[in-house]
């Protein structure tokens, strides 16, 4: 069965860095784009970043562009999110999600359980 | 950037019909997806491509999209449907994905 498992969350000071991982199983990983979506405490879902199935295209929300980098290793079925220059308003549960594509994106059909990132001094 | 507007809350009695709106400029020409999100759980895709249901999602969940409003309709609402619901689109001009602010469905 399709599984996405996030890891790497934790507590970090403002200005610090953290790398999240999203390990996938149960499907042909190299055939799917993967996204990161976050939810700050008491807030709604916010799209963060996307990486194409082959790693050749990346897109970022304006709030993280220049600070976060998404990458993938298809040999390890894993997507990463390198987060630098973290701010207190980056505190959130981070989810990775799979997105099928057929001429247009088909929505996020599988999600991980999320990993909590807390930015605090 | 493209903006999606949802009502913060919707309340409905068990067995009744809940309608959750998602407003956006000419949203009818975009493809809308809907997610159910319960506390402490991963979000679940309940409607994709405006009106299609993934396997395992009850027929009680349906969607429509026209003009400047998309709507998620939940028929014969049950207590277990209580959750936050989000609409989402692909903004082709920026290649970004956009979520609405979310609607909390309360079953009275």
Give the side-chain half-sphere CA count within 13 A for A81.
31
Give the pLDDT of residue B58. Answer: 97
CB contact under 8 A, B84 and A105: no
Are B48 and A109 in contact, with CB atoms under 8 Å apart? yes
Least-confidence region, from A40-49, A95-104, A107-116: A95-104
Residue B27 neighbours by CB under 8 Å, 6+ apart: B4, B65, B67, B68, B69, B70, B89
Q: Is the pLDDT of residue A102 over 90?
A: no
Which tens digits make up the pLDDT trace of A53-93? 999 999 999 999 999 999 999 999 999 999 999 999 999 99
Question: B95 vs A59: CB contact, 8 Å cut-off?
Answer: yes
* H-run or E-run covering B86: strand B83-91
How far is B103 from chain A, CA to nearest CA, in Å?
Answer: 9
Instruction: Find, in chain B, the residue whose alpha carbon is nearest to that of A108.
Output: B45
Q: Do A109 and B35 touch (CB under 8 A)?
A: no
- pLDDT of A103 strictly over 90: no
- Nearest Cα residue in chain B from A45: B99
Q: In B, which residues are within 8 Å of A109 by CB distance?
A: 45, 48, 54
Using CB atoms, which residue from B54, B94, B101 is nearest to A109?
A: B54
Number of helices followed by number of strands (H, E) in chain B:
0, 9
pLDDT confidence of residue A104: 86
pLDDT in tens, A6-48: 999 999 999 999 999 999 999 999 999 999 999 999 999 999 9
Rounded CA-CA distance A40/B88 in Å is 17
Backbone φ, ψ for residue B105 (5° rounding) = -90, 120
Express as a percent the part of chain B with pLDDT over 90.
Answer: 98
Distance of CA A43 to the CA centre of its chain: 17
Report chain B's mean pLDDT, rounded to a whole number.
97
What pLDDT, on the 0 to 100 scale, is given for residue A28? 96
* pLDDT confidence tier of residue B56, bands split at 50, 70 and 90: very high
Which residues on chain B are in Cβ contact (under 8 Å) with A114? Answer: 42
Which of A104, A105, A114 minimises the CB distance to B42? Answer: A114
For every residue of B26-42, DSSP letters joined together read: TGGGS--EEEEE-TTS-
CA of A69 vs chain B CAs: smallest distance (Å) = 15
């Amino acid at each position: 069965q399709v599984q996405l498992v996030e890891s790497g969350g934790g507590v970090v000071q403002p200005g610090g860095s953290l790398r999240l991982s999203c390990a996938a199983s149960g499907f042909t990983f190299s055939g799917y784009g993967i996204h990161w979506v976050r939810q700050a405490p008491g807030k709604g879902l916010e799209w963060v970043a996307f990486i194409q199935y082959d790693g050749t295209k990346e897109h970022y929300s304006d709030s993280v562009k220049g600070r976060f980098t998404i990458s993938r290793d298809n040999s390890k079925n894993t997507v990463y999110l390198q987060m630098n220059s973290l701010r207190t308003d980056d505190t959130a549960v981070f989810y990775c999600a799979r997105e099928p594509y057929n001429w247009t994106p088909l929505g996020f059909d599988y999600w991980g359980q999320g990993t909590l990132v807390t930015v605090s001094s | 950037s493209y903006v999606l507007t949802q009502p913060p809350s919707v309340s409905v009695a068990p067995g009744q019909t809940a309608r959750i709106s998602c407003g956006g400029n000419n949203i009818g020409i975009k493809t809308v997806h809907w997610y159910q999100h319960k506390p402490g759980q991963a979000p679940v895709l309940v409607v994709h491509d405006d009106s299609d249901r993934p396997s395992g999602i009850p027929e009680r969940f349906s969607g429509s999209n026209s003009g400047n409003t998309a709507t998620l309709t939940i028929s014969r609402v049950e207590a277990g449907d209580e959750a936050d619901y989000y609409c989402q689109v692909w903004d082709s001009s920026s290649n970004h994905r956009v979520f609405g602010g979310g609607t909390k469905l309360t079953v009275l």
